Amino acid sequence: MNGTSNTGAWVVGGLILIVVIGFGVWWWNGDRSGTDVVVTPSPTATTTDTTPAATPIVREDRTNSDVASVIAGIPEASSFASLFASTGVAASISKTGTYTIFVPTNGAFNLLTPGTLTNMSATQKKRLVQYHVVSGRAVDTSAVETSTIMALSKDALNFAVHDPGNSAMVNGAFIIKQYKAKNGIVYLVSGVLVPPEKPLN
């Protein structure tokens, strides 16, 4: 009888061990809320030495002003406003047209290689400014998807929407702020949009 009892005890003990091990494996591989939580960073929340991290776009309603007046009234964009006026592009903007204008901050101009603007001809400066203008279309980050858009300079702009309405880029520059004007949209952006070099004939 002793042998039979010992055998039964071993079987029961083995079953208990299997149950304990099985529970342990289930617990280790299952959802252990409140223990180790892994947070995957958002792909848009990245930063470099010269580009700010993507943050929700700040929006202002300026529908009582046209796009040219909005640009002239942005304190942190006086460098672009000056070029916009001096190149004659501002004068060519119709109050009844529809436009999307990407306006670099003064800090963005400071990141250009020294001499970039001073070494440009009047024609090159005008093309640079025109490259920041989309005519005939109000591109709204809430409604548009990633696409290529033709600028007033006849060069393509790469418009990338990461989070519709909240995070978007143009040519790698983050959109920081949106001003809705009566004849279009003005975006404050973190970088100067430099048009591609024209092929030599």
Indicate the class that CATH gives domain 58-189.
mainly beta
At residue 196's C-alpha, the angle toward residues 195 and 201, to 5°, is 125
State the amino acid at position 75 in one-letter form: P
pLDDT of the residue at 17: 60
What confidence score (pLDDT) does residue 25 get? Answer: 46
Helices (H), the chain: 2-29, 67-72, 78-86, 89-92, 106-110, 122-130
Return the pLDDT at 57: 82
Q: How many residues can be counted in the chain?
A: 201
Domain boundaries, given as residue ranges, for the chain: 58-189
What is the pLDDT, as a whole number, of residue 47?
28
User: Which of 132, 147, 121, 108 shows the shortest CA–CA distance to 184?
Assistant: 132
In a structure prediction context, what are the per-residue pLDDT tens digits for the chain, which is 201 residues long? 454 555 555 555 555 666 555 545 444 444 443 333 222 222 322 222 344 555 788 889 998 999 999 999 999 999 999 999 999 999 999 888 899 999 999 999 999 999 999 999 999 999 999 999 999 998 887 766 678 899 999 999 998 887 766 788 899 899 999 999 999 999 999 999 999 987 555
Q: Looking at residue 40, what is its pLDDT?
A: 26
Determine the pLDDT at residue 199: 59
pLDDT of residue 22: 54
